[in-house]
Amino acid sequence: MKTTKTRSLRFLSGLAIGVTTLSLAACGSSSGSSAKPADKTSSTTASTAPVDMRLGYFPNVTHAPALIGIQGKIFEKYLGKNVTLKPQSFNAGPDVTTAIFSGALDASFIGPGPSISAYQKSNKQAIKIVAGAASGGAFLVTKPSITKPSDLKGKKIASPQLGNTQDIALRSWLKKQGYSTDTSGGGDVSIVPEDNALTLTAFQQGQIDGAWVPEPWATRLVKEGGGKILVDEASLWPKGQYVTTDLIVAQKFLSEHPDVVKQLIEGEVAAIKLSKTNRKQAESYVASGIQAATGKAIAPDLVTASFDSITFTTDPIVSSLLKNAQESKTLGFTTSDDVKGIYDLSILNQVLTANKQPTITVPANA
């Protein structure tokens, strides 16, 4: 419990420093960090000047478009010779937002919870969501003896990180079941935020009773830890559709390099297309990407099973993020559910039009 408190304090401290850094940068630069929506013509004209693209992602199957794009060198193909791709692996969203606040990251695949937090805590200055990436693929896996929500009282359940997308989903669901939780691991159900790899080991050793995690960790808890699925998060959403992963870009980078952002999105569209037209190859890229990031091989059948529960799409499923914003406020992770302006899908819609796919309209409150 002391470790969890320390981890929370470190995160909040890093966040505060990052926001301060961001604010100072905005005051000291004529271009600032607040990006205007990308112009649909001249602003996305390719530049030949050297550019570094520092791209974040997680070694999860819910980040398959990123893993396919990196391992299959699809991003490199679309970014061109003048852009140097610098991928960086993270365990969960709050670490990504801290990196963006400090200026150490330009873009990232990430969950909706931390996207909302980053946008609001930076006074809507830090990031824009420019595309979706995945829907589905998150589960609450428990010991077989836990067969219903009422069995969870007094149990210890893990999440990937305090305030990340699955952490918020878990706390929100538990609250609806009548359980209290807090950020220090107390309450009716103790929530333990920890690295997904540690969660698997802890579950196998009986140190925790379950976890709300994204794929492939849910399947691993079942196959390697003997667990069972208590909640498929898809069952909690209309038509089973909810955003698990979207693509965010630092507003300053979007303002300065809209052409590079367009190329990145073009690469993502190509990676998602490969996941549908050559699934076996796509799964191979995902497996090798996870191994490269974690240093541990993952069984191919785990990736295959994970693919079955995820829809890879550039549609950010705006309606589900709006609900995420409300839940984040209710739980106290943010002070407002106002996310107006968080999306800039102008470049995505250019790419979708070029690929003869339907464009996406954002409602006025987003």
pLDDT of 292-305, one tens digit each?
999 999 999 999 99
Task: Measure the CA–CA gap between 237 and 215, rounded to whole angstroms.
Answer: 18
Is 185 part of a structural domain of the chain?
yes
Does the pLDDT value for residue 7 go beyond 50? Answer: no
Q: What is the CA radius of gyration of the chain?
A: 20
Q: Are residues 97 and 26 in the same domain?
A: yes
Residue in 147, 167, 146 with CA at minimum distance from that of residue 155: 146
Segment holding 196, helix H or strand E = helix 196-204
Cβ-contact 60, 91 below 8 angstroms:
no
Q: Which residue has the higher pLDDT, 23 or 160?
A: 160
**Half-sphere exposure at residue 322, Cβ-oriented, CA atoms within 13 angstroms:** 11
Task: Measure the CA–CA gap between 279 and 147, rounded to whole angstroms.
Answer: 34
Q: Are residues 145 and 285 in the same domain?
A: no
Cβ-contact 314, 268 below 8 angstroms:
yes
Residue in 222, 226, 241 with CA at minimum distance from that of residue 302: 222
Q: Are residues 102 and 168 in the same domain?
A: no
Task: Measure the CA–CA gap between 87 and 108, rounded to whole angstroms.
Answer: 9
Range of the domain at 320: 2-135+242-354
Is 303 part of a structural domain of the chain?
yes
pLDDT, mean of residues 108-123 = 94
Coil, strand or helix: which one is 244? strand
Is 364 part of a structural domain of the chain?
no
The string of pLDDT tens digits covering residues 191-200 is 999 999 899 9
Is 217 part of a structural domain of the chain?
yes
**Half-sphere exposure at residue 221, Cβ-oriented, CA atoms within 13 angstroms:** 33
Q: Are residues 219 and 250 in the same domain?
A: no
- pLDDT bucket at 252, cuts 50 / 70 / 90: very high
pLDDT of residue 267: 98
With residues binned 3-state (H G I as helix, E B as strand, rest as coil), the percentages for the chain, rounded to 5, are: 50, 20, 35
Q: Are residues 236 and 210 in the same domain?
A: yes
Does the pLDDT value for residue 40 go beyond 60? Answer: no
Of 240, 255, 272, which residue sits at a domain end? 240
pLDDT of residue 44: 58
pLDDT, mean of residues 110-137 = 95
Cis omega (within 30 of 0) on the bond before 216? Answer: yes
Q: Are residues 11 and 101 in the same domain?
A: yes
Domains identified in the chain, total number? 2
Is 199 part of a structural domain of the chain?
yes
Residue in 156, 137, 122 with CA at minimum distance from that of residue 58: 137
- pLDDT bucket at 94, cuts 50 / 70 / 90: confident
What mean pLDDT value characterizes the chain? Answer: 88
Task: Measure the CA–CA gap between 305 and 219, rounded to whole angstroms.
Answer: 7
- pLDDT bucket at 49, cuts 50 / 70 / 90: confident
Q: Are residues 158 and 224 in the same domain?
A: yes
Of 190, 216, 240, which residue sits at a domain end? 240
Does the pLDDT value for residue 160 go beyond 80? Answer: yes
Q: Are residues 179 and 58 in the same domain?
A: no
- Report the CATH number that the domain containing residue 115 is assigned in CATH: 3.40.190.10
pLDDT of residue 80: 86
Tokens of 1: 């419990």
Is 345 part of a structural domain of the chain?
yes
Task: Measure the CA–CA gap between 302 and 280, rounded to whole angstroms.
Answer: 13
Q: Are residues 319 and 189 in the same domain?
A: no
Give the CA angle between residues 72, 73, 78 to the nearest 5°. Answer: 125
Query: What is the strand order of the sheet 228-232 is part of?
Result: 190-193, 156-159, 210-214, 138-142, 228-232
Coil, strand or helix: which one is 181? strand
Tokens of 343: 């999306």
Q: Are residues 324 and 193 in the same domain?
A: no
Cβ-contact 86, 50 below 8 angstroms:
no
pLDDT of residue 91: 86
Is 361 part of a structural domain of the chain?
no
> Would you say how long the chain is, in residues?
366
Task: Measure the CA–CA gap between 102 and 22, rounded to whole angstroms.
Answer: 7
Is 365 part of a structural domain of the chain?
no
What DSSP assignment string belongs to 3-68? HHHHHHHHHHHHHHHHHHHHHHHHHH-SS-S-PPPPPSSGGGSPP-S-EEEEEEE-SSGGGHHHHH
Residue in 58, 47, 130, 115 with CA at minimum distance from that of residue 87: 58
Q: Are residues 93 and 220 in the same domain?
A: no
Q: Are residues 276 and 339 in the same domain?
A: yes
Coil, strand or helix: which one is 190? strand
- pLDDT bucket at 17, cuts 50 / 70 / 90: very low
Tokens 């090798």 correspond to 288
Of 190, 223, 240, which residue sits at a domain end? 240
Cβ-contact 127, 100 below 8 angstroms:
yes
Give the CA angle between residues 97, 63, 116 to the nearest 5°. Answer: 35
Does the pLDDT value for residue 340 go beyond 70? Answer: yes
Tokens of 49: 């000047």
What DSSP assignment string belongs to 95-142? HHHHHHHTT--SEEEE-HHHHHHHHHHTTT-SEEEEEEEEEE-EEEEE
